[in-house]
Structure 1
């Protein structure tokens, strides 16, 4: 199964994009332009289809800081660029709202093909990174976009420090345990800000100097008081919401007495496969337990465990 946001098939042309001359040739009538605004993507008002604009449609915008996303090798090497309109004049933004709307990608992703969702996620992630790295971390001088939007360059001639897009690794895990009644159960928790009834897999960021397996064990222990062994990697998912990659694992619990750290999560419980199969979906208004969104690796891990059977 291909996880959502993990099928970005564009050729990123990492070497060619370093050339300003080559990049200028790609801003042609065959190019397509992806708009973002305040971490939202641009969709059709009629059917929520993603809108990929022509060069003519974006000519009124400043194209100098456009981020080159890549070439569509399956479609005549069509170049794709991203433009973030967050700090663009409201009058210019309003013109685009006549044809489309800016919406949360995660609310629309379920109806998108994976390649489109992956491309939009990349554009969103890079837009956030540019906005959050406006100044040099060494000398405090303003940065400018460089290398077709895949670097930020300090404008201080005595510094010229380059910053590159960051990706924060986070582990996410389905923890299982065989109980004395012969039923295998998995450990799920919930955050207080989630919709009522939603339970998901535990997760957390990797600390400096620790292995991924150690991070899994530490996060589970910190959040639930459960000890784990036999940590095994399953899958990964880009997660530019805003700047992570999720590394999915399955692990065996060596204890079962849950001690929730309320500073970490709101609650944690053991659930059987039968119980999970009766869960509702994220967004359901009916009372009861609910699984996480279908676009997430947490949902993938839960579905994977359920499919293994007792």
Structure 2
């Protein structure tokens, strides 16, 4: 078991689940002067600081435009944090509460350069606001839904239905397949040039995690796996996945790639990756904030 959380994990907020049903308590902490707002605009996070040292752009309640919806994230050292969706603002760059304090960007473009605890808060806010934006209507009867319990539930407004809907997370397995001193890596056509990564795929209904690992590896590369060992997990709110990481032992070696999934796949030795991959080489590892990079790094270094 790894001794440190993956990036975007390692939550630093107390999610105060016991207080979420107390709207008067939520209203009071939202109005507090010290409360921090984590802004989101059309799935982008607010970032302050320079390109080399980005930090989370946080606002006060007074900075928010009118009509902003907010979601309780939790407490940190007694200070409340709320996510606020500013997607109704056509151009946040001209809003006086935002323009001089930072800018909105995709978290993946600057996340790896941030302090991990800030990356966790921004990922949490992004994932929760994404869910709210896409669950405005009840999936049972079609009536509008409203936010409840601090934004951790959406409830159908039809009194004959009143179905509660909870934030959705899509489980996905991601696995490093190994055969002795070699590991199996693949690349998709959308990857940056030269980048190879671990295999991954969504868990299907009625399927265990181990079965999902074996199925995805077989479908994408024709490789069969035996022992599957859990490694760690990572929230990946791009848009709403929970990545469940594994190491898997190969029991076959001949690769037959699924062209709809992969552009290429191959077996690569530890020595080859450690000595020839990276800057200036023809191959490169996945991004540093990804669990795929963590799975590879931990295998490379034993």
TM-score range, shorter chain: over 0.9
Q: Which moved more, 1:98-107 or 1:117-126?
A: 98-107
Aligned mates of 1:6, 1:61 — CA distance in 2: 32
How far has the Cα of 1:264 moved from its partner?
Answer: 1.6
Whether contact under 8 Å (1:279, 1:291) holds in the other structure is: no
- Corresponding position of 1:26: 29
Whether contact under 8 Å (2:7, 2:120) holds in the other structure is: yes
Show structure 1 runs of 5+ residues with no match: 179-183
> How do residues 1-310 of structure 1 correspond to structure 2 at under 5 angstroms?
1-27=4-30, 28-44=32-48, 46=50, 47-58=53-64, 60-62=65-67, 65-72=69-76, 75=77, 77-90=78-91, 94-95=95-96, 96-178=98-180, 184-278=181-275, 280-281=277-278, 286=280, 288-308=282-302
Whether contact under 8 Å (1:85, 1:93) holds in the other structure is: no
Aligned pairs, number:
295
Residue 196 to residue 233, structure 1, CA distance change in 2 (3 Å)? same
Residue 159 to residue 205, structure 1, CA distance change in 2 (3 Å)? same
Describe the SS at the equivalent of 1:232: strand
How far has the Cα of 1:156 moved from its partner?
Answer: 1.8
Describe the SS at the equivalent of 2:298: helix
Whether contact under 8 Å (1:45, 1:101) holds in the other structure is: no
TM-score (norm 2): 0.93
Whether contact under 8 Å (2:57, 2:101) holds in the other structure is: no
Aligned mates of 2:92, 2:189 — CA distance in 1: 39
Describe the SS at the equivalent of 1:26: helix
Aligned mates of 1:91, 1:43 — CA distance in 2: 13
Describe the SS at the equivalent of 1:278: helix
Describe the SS at the equivalent of 1:172: strand
TM-score (norm 1): 0.91
- Corresponding position of 1:181: none
Residue 93 to residue 19, structure 1, CA distance change in 2 (3 Å)? farther
Whether contact under 8 Å (2:92, 2:99) holds in the other structure is: no
Q: Flag as ranges the 4+ runs of structure 1 deviating above 6 A.
A: none
Whether contact under 8 Å (1:227, 1:254) holds in the other structure is: yes
Aligned mates of 1:279, 1:102 — CA distance in 2: 36
Show structure 2 runs of 5+ residues with no match: none
Aligned mates of 1:18, 1:221 — CA distance in 2: 46
Aligned mates of 2:257, 2:231 — CA distance in 1: 25
Aligned mates of 1:293, 1:93 — CA distance in 2: 33
